Chains A and B, each alone.
Chain A
Amino acid sequence: MSTSRNAVTFGRILALLLLAGWVAPVGSQETRIQLGTPISEDQLSGFDLIAAPDGSGMPPGAGTARQGREVYELNCLRCHNVNGEGVSGNTVIAGGDMRSEESPLRTVGSFWPHASTLFDFIRRAMPADMPKTLTDEEAYQVTAYVLFLNGIIGEDQSINSETLTAIAMPNGNGFVDQSHLH
């Protein structure tokens, strides 16, 4: 009798303690496995290739379109043709007009909202048959050349992390963010 009453009392006290968060119920605390190895951002400087519109992730270096012409002829011409005219639908990287009557040709010049994307994409994915073979310097130079082909900068304008992210792209205001609509 008295044992069971004690048990009830004990149970009540335990419940109160649990409510107050003073005692952790056995087995309810999920084992937290933590197996990530800490690293520093410095260790990632050659690994993290994200070059964003705010300039973050852009490496040191600079280049002009005049310098980029040669980089283009060596590394890009075989697929993107003279003046970025392309050899197929998805290799046209210059020209186009979003206001044309017919379905507009969407290119770097006519369509892309951010200049940073050009450097980011070239550095990570181009040339398509041997990506990541350009130096950062060459990537800046050929970025400048593609912008020049699109009439966005002059031939001798120096492109670096600051001047690149300061460029207002022709279709920069053409996008409507839908990410809030879930």
Chain B
Amino acid sequence: MTETQWEKAAGNGLLNRRHLLQLGLTGLGAAGANAVFGQEAGSALQIPEWSRTPGENASAYGGASRFAGNLQRMAGTPDPIYPGGGSSRSPLQFLQGTITPNALHFERHHAGIPDIDPAGHMLVINGLVRQPLVFSYENLLKYRMVSRIYFLECSGNSGALLRGGNADGTAQSLHGLLSCAEWTGIPLSTLLDEASVLPEARWVAAVGADAASMGRSVPIEKALDDVLVALYQNGEPIRPGQGYPVRLFCPGWEGNISVKWLTQLKLMREPAQFRDETSKYTDTMPDRSSLQFTFPMGVKSLITSPSGQMNLPRPGIYQVTGVAWSGHGAIQRVEVSADGGNTWAEAEMQSEPGAKALARFTIPWEWSGGSAVLQSRATDSAGNVQPVRDEVLAARGTISFYHNNCIQSWGVDDGGAINNVYV
């Protein structure tokens, strides 16, 4: 295949997205077409073995195909001095569309996953309210609920890349503290109204029922806006690792504030100044001042395929695809570069982007066999444009590592090996 066959959209092989319709080729490229199915080119096609024997019976709870790749979260090794502390990361490079399956949604726990019997779980609302209340799980299920699709991202996601150094890794290991699901639950405002919030209340301190009793303070404006008391995730009861039986969900905001295993909401005049909103999740600037209560996750995108630690088997056509999201609204546009940011082409959105939800983009690319640097740059509905790494470093220095939304650069060498690079 010659390089000039397709209409170019930007440098180093990015093709006009009209070719999405015209090519009829995805993934491996035309050069591989002869070798597929393990059969000789030109031979007659055979009925495969699995069409000749009845298969497995229906199962109680389904799992993935054993051929579907390494569909596993990546968890750190347990640390005896930090019982239950740690995280597991979503395998972004193996997922498509925008919804993360529940079994693969990322986790971050500070004292493990509690084994909560909902019959004994309480949700208390107290503090600056006319009437303190306690809700049982059984009663929460009786309220009117709404369903919304939202991303969730840990503010520590991608943090290592700000500090620099050797960061060879996959989309999963570098950026896997990111997921997206349909969350179903009760608008928090409904429950707050029932307790009748006093006018002097400015913050809602939320506390979880895990061994860490994780606490975070939410401003009252947000609490009355779009925050959910979520009970279901992608249609099934929220899993224990995500806060069963009930979690707070603060759309678009750093993950830690969506307190899991939610057991208390206390209306207060001032923030509670919990450890996880002072000692942690705060960003120290070069002048040593520290930014606190940085809530919305900035506009961001990431190419998930081809991505870190993958290998392009041969020159030819590839679909470049990835995800984009913003805590400030919906994704308006994603541009892709194959030459390290010198030229850009607008990618196609695979479905209509929702507010504070993952959006997926795609664009065809013809890899010539030479070196390339693949990047994506998102713009959101509020007009925010994803910054390059140097801009983030110039503004914030290297002490802080939370809230990194810089452009990811994947270097492709002339052998087709892909790795994180700093440009």
Which A residues fall within an 8 A CB radius of B? 30, 33-41, 44, 47-50, 52-54, 56, 78-79, 87-88, 90-91, 98-99, 103-104, 106, 108, 111-114, 116-117, 120-121, 124-125, 128-129, 131-132, 171, 174-179, 181-182
Contacts and interface: CB of A to CB of B under 8 A. Distances in A.
Contact of B142 (A35, A103, A124, A131): A35
A53 B205 CA distance: 13
Nearest to B139: A35
B132 A40 contact: yes
B52 interface: no
B146 interface: no
Nearest to B277: A117
Interface in B224-249: none
Contact of B194 (A34, A106, A111): A34
Interface of B: 79, 81-83, 85, 110-111, 124-126, 131-136, 139-140, 142-144, 191, 194-195, 205, 207, 211-213, 215, 219, 221-222, 264, 266, 268-275, 278-279, 282, 284, 288-296, 398-399
Interface centre among A37, A40, A114, A128, by most B CB within 10 Å? A128
A129 B279 contact: no
B194 A125 contact: no
Contact of B279 (A34, A103, A117, A179): A117
A182 B295 contact: yes
A9 B133 CA distance: 48
B111 A131 contact: yes
A178 B295 contact: yes
Contact of A44 (B126, B144, B194, B215): B126
A120 B271 CA distance: 13
Contacts of A103: 398-399
Given A39-B133, A131-B212, A182-B296, A52 B273 contact: yes
Given A33-B144, A87-B81, A178-B291, A38 B132 contact: yes
A120 B399 contact: no
Given A52-B270, A117-B274, A131 B81 contact: no
B133 A124 contact: no
Interface centre among B85, B124, B140, by most A CB within 10 Å? B124
Nearest to A52: B272
